């Protein structure tokens, strides 16, 4: 689903660009030559999105990101569309063609904020709920 939109469009907006999925989406989009608009809720998180390659970083707490994306794209806002079951084979093919090679080449790397032992799952969940992290929070056995 993500890759289809990256190939089809020249702009994409990644809402929650500092999240685990968001950091991955920014990297994949940049590998595909797509202009990335990333949103986040703090200057620190926006700076991290910029470091990953986001072209335009928008604080969704202080700015209307929809209006900003439309302004930056001449009214042509980007978006993801949901895909039906018929598209699953195409999605898998595109992940195999574009995502795995980027990971293997080291062009895309997971962003891990912190590792927690499984015994500290409650603390990990508190960190997640606080939204003070960038990237993924990992539980390890």
Mind listing the pLDDT tens digit for each residue in 5-63? Answer: 444 468 888 999 999 999 999 999 999 898 999 999 999 999 999 999 999 999 999 99
Q: Could you tell me the residue range of the domain that residue 21 belongs to?
A: 2-109
Neighbours of 1 (CB within 10 A): 14
Residue 66's pLDDT is what? 85
Please tell me whether residues 99 and 139 are part of one structural domain. Answer: no
Residue 83's pLDDT is what? 57
Cα separation, 91 vs 84, whole angstroms: 11
Q: Which pair of tokens denotes residue 28?
A: 């994949």
Residue 82's pLDDT is what? 55
Q: What is the pTM of this model?
A: 0.81
Residue bearing the bigger pLDDT, 121 or 84: 121
Domain tally, the chain: 2
The dihedral built from the CA positions of residue 18, 20, 25 and 27, taken in this order, carries a sign that is positive
Is residue 1 over pLDDT 60?
Answer: no
CATH number of the domain within which 8 lies: 3.40.50.720
Task: Give ∠ CA 55-37-95 in degrees, rounded to 5.
Answer: 100
């Amino acid at each position: 689903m993500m890759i289809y939109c990256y190939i089809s469009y020249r702009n994409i907006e990644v809402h929650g660009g500092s999240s685990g999925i968001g950091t991955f989406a920014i990297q994949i989009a940049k590998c595909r030559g797509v202009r990335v608009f990333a949103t986040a809720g703090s200057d620190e998180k926006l700076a991290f999105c910029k470091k990953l390659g986001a072209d335009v970083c928008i604080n969704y707490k202080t700015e209307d990101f929809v209006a900003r994306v439309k302004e930056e794209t001449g009214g042509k806002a980007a978006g993801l569309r949901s895909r039906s079951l018929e598209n699953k084979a195409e999605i898998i093919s595109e992940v195999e063609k574009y995502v795995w090679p980027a990971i293997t080449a080291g062009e895309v790397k997971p962003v891990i904020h912190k590792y927690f032992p499984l015994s500290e799952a409650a603390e990990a969940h508190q960190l997640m709920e606080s939204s003070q992290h960038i990237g993924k929070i990992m539980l390890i056995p």
